[in-house]
Structure formats: structure tokens, C-alpha cells
Structure 1
């Protein structure tokens, strides 16, 4: 997928500007959070220096859509639903690509040796299982993971930080996490 290549191109640009990997935090929300994980995996597999840390908001980590909260939280999350995610996945994936391929579903990838990760997810979002299952896999691989499950929050709520106190608090937490690792 093009985004997979674009993430690496952006990383390589930063490195070409002599910015040390240890001075870079990477992050994203939703599909961008999944892309963040796949970028780190790609760098790790190539034995390149890794970013200092990663910040993931409402990560979409499993394009097979096997998380139970896709159904159980569908009534309370007004933004993300399984049908919509299937449309996005169909548009994103090259014909014939397996949805379990770690390049698009980082839940199924090897995360050994990854830098510290902050995951922020709402308790009322359909991608809650994607976040918690990825956090569990990363923790089992001895990755330093901080998982924040925010009560009553929906998908990518920190984006509404201008209007939500919890959005502002989530950003404050993310800034503190990033500063601690840069």
C-alpha cells in the first residue's frame, strides 16, 4: 500500500536531515496508529535505528476485524463501525493481500525490540480490542507499553481537545510520555 511506503519515505527524510532517531517520536491515530506500528516493524526488520517512542491513539491493528468490541461497542461509538472499516480495508489493500499480513495488520507482527509505546483508547470505541490485544502482545514481547483506557470516550477523542477536557488531558499525558523518552 502507498501509505506503507510514504511512512518510510517520511522517516528517511528526517534521517537524511541528520535528525537522530533517538530525537524522534512517531505516532498516529486509527489507521495512522497501525501505520506507525508497521513503520517501526519495518525499521526493526531492516536493523535500522528506531524512533525513541511511539504514541498510538485508537489504533486499528487488525484488518481481519476479529475484535469483539467491533460488535459490542457499535451502539455507543458513533464514528467507527465494522462495515465502514471493511470498506476502508478493501480500498487500501492491494488485490489478494492477506488481511493478516503484518504490514497492514500489525497485531500479527513481531514487536520484539520495539521502543516504548503509549496507547490511548476510549472505553466506548469499537477498536478497543485492537488496542488492548496489541498492548498485550507488545507487553508479552517485553516492550514497555503504557495503555490508557479512557472511560466513556469514543474513537480518537483527543482530536476534539478544543472542546473536551479529556481530550486535553490525553494530550498532556502524551506530551509527558514523549518528553520522558526524547
Structure 2
């Protein structure tokens, strides 16, 4: 089980329907009449949630970020020696610095599907290097090639810089797919939390520039709307664990360079504010019912569907943010992971037809 800081530094039977989002269990109230968010959660997730709450809120500040980033890297799991990992430095966009990527499960002949991965961490934390063990296991289980991007973090780099880092990696993967042993027509995007922001923005960028075909986008509890926690308030039992409204405001302000929720937000940095979602690749979106992002994720899935984009939505009742990574052995986590993996396998199979 990962603690709050470790997760943020490192990442950060069937699918539920939108209707399941509204079927909350009876919430326990304390002597003061306040709602206990733990009572909302799946019983298997409650011990981890209590541990996270006992650790207090994330103390996010610009001064604290360097130490938190270093701590996250130090807590990363060791990599698997049997799954190949190579570090590459590739050209960035014109006028921008080179980009570091890690190629996972390479060194094999053939033409396998590929994933371009963007890590989580609220836009301000996390690293591709810190996710390598998780990504090795994922690439092994899917028998695919995976490239993960060490994009520049906020607030040092705003949304437009990280978009270009990720797009440079996507172009490089597509251009070098055959050499890497991958099929250039079967490239999927995958991102968790803030990595979901980047994956969604990358899908939009690839559509608009029309240079690289993207087969699929898998958005895992994606962070999509700066208004959540600022102008859009959630019930107190949603977003109470790990990533809360205050953390969300900090992350979005660092990413966008302006206070979130207002009318002067740069639309190009917020997937939920993009007016036209038509023409995007098919999507899978998964989120917990107690995750701060649940409402925005349900809304984004609905908008994709209305725009004609084939979209599968999974809302896991009574699950908090990143529950699958923090309590991976819980039954709800295993069902969630299986659904994500099955969605990617189906997409790869369709792409091979």
C-alpha cells in the first residue's frame, strides 16, 4: 500500500453505469452532525483511506515541491530486470529543449501495439522514471511497446510547454515505430489523473494537427476541468481522500498560470473547456464514485458520446482517487484494472483488423 506522498510522487463483476454514481450508501454522521467520508467508501478501501486522512492534507506550495519530487523518486519501486527499459533523449518542438522518454518492453521483433503514456501527479509532481515498475507490468501483460514521457512540470513549465513535450514524444514514437517493433497504426494514449489531462490534450492536439493517427485514449480518473473545487463545489464525501479541492486549485493554477475557475482561463489547457470534441479517438474513462473528478469525468464522457466519439465509462461506486494503485488487491481495484486492460486489448484488436 502506498502512502499519500509516495503516490503523488510516483504517479499520483462488471462496469458500473452512470446510474451507479447516484446510488450512495447511507452516510454515517458523527456527534457534530458532520458526514464521515470513510463511511461512503467500499469496506476494502477504508483502512487505506483512514491512513491517508491521518496523514493530513497535502501541504502544497512552490517551496515544498522540490523536496516532494525528490521524495517521490526515492520511493519508486525497483524495476523488473526481465522487462527491457531504455532511456532516450529525443528532439523537442522547434525552439524547445529535448525531451526524455523511456521505452518499456522494447527490443523485440514484430509489430506490436504501442502506448504513449503520461504520468500523474497533479501537474506539479510525479515522474515517468518513478512509474517504470508499474509500466513494465502493464506492457508485459498487454504484450505491447510503451513509451512514457518525462514532460516538464508546472509551475516551471505551463500547459503549452508540456503539450509540446508530449506531442514531440508521440511524433517520435510514430516515426520510429517500425524500428522499435511497434505498429504505427496502433498507438493508444494512456494517462492517470493529471496524466489523463495530458492524454486528453494530446488526443485533441493530434486531431487538430492531423499528423499522427491515434487509435485510442484511455483516461484513468483524469483531471479534466479546472472549475472543480473552485466554481464547482462537490459534496464533502467526494474528493475527501488523497486529492482534494485545495490541491486541485493549486495544481490547476500552476499548470495554467492563472487562478482556476474564472473566465480568463486559457481554453487550450483544459480538456473540459474545449468546445468541439468531435473527431477524437475512441475513449475509455474510469473513475471512482468518491473521486473529486467523478462529475467532470462523467460529463466529459457524455460530451464525447454526444460528439460521436465511441466512449466507455466506468464509475466504481465508493472508490476514492487512485484506489487501484493504493489498494491494488481489493476486489474493486482488480475489477477496475481488468476493465482498463480489456478496453486496451479490444482497441488493439480492432486496430489490427
The answer to whether the aligner puts 1:106 opposite 2:271 as a matched pair is yes
The answer to whether the aligner puts 1:115 opposite 2:281 as a matched pair is yes
SS at 1:48's partner residue?
Answer: coil
- Note if contact 2:224-2:297 (Cα within 8 Å) is conserved in structure 1: yes
Alignment of 1:2-81 (within 5 A): 2-18=161-177, 19-65=182-228, 70-74=233-237, 77-81=240-244
Q: Cα gap change, 1:123/1:4 in structure 2, threshold over 3 Å: closer, same or farther?
A: same
**2 CA distance for matches of 1:153 and 1:68?**
24
Which structure is larger by alpha-carbon Rg, 1 or 2? 2
Shift of 1:25: 1.4
SS at 1:4's partner residue?
Answer: helix
Q: Which has the higher contact order (CA 8 A, sep 6+)?
A: 1
**2 CA distance for matches of 1:74 and 1:85?**
16
The answer to whether the aligner puts 1:131 opposite 2:290 as a matched pair is no
Alignment of 1:160-179 (within 5 A): 160=326, 162-179=328-345
Return the TM-score normalized by structure 1: 0.88
Q: After the TM superposition, which of the residue ranges 172-181 and 73-82 deviates more from structure 2? A: 73-82
Q: Which consecutive unaligned segments of at least 5 residues does structure 2 have?
A: 1-158, 349-353
Return the TM-score normalized by structure 2: 0.47
- Aligned residue pairs, count: 181
SS at 2:185's partner residue?
Answer: helix
Q: Tell me what 2:134 maps to.
A: none
Shift of 1:95: 5.4
Q: Which consecutive unaligned segments of at least 5 residues does structure 1 have?
A: none
> Which one has a larger percent helix, Structure 1 or Structure 2?
1
SS at 1:146's partner residue?
Answer: strand
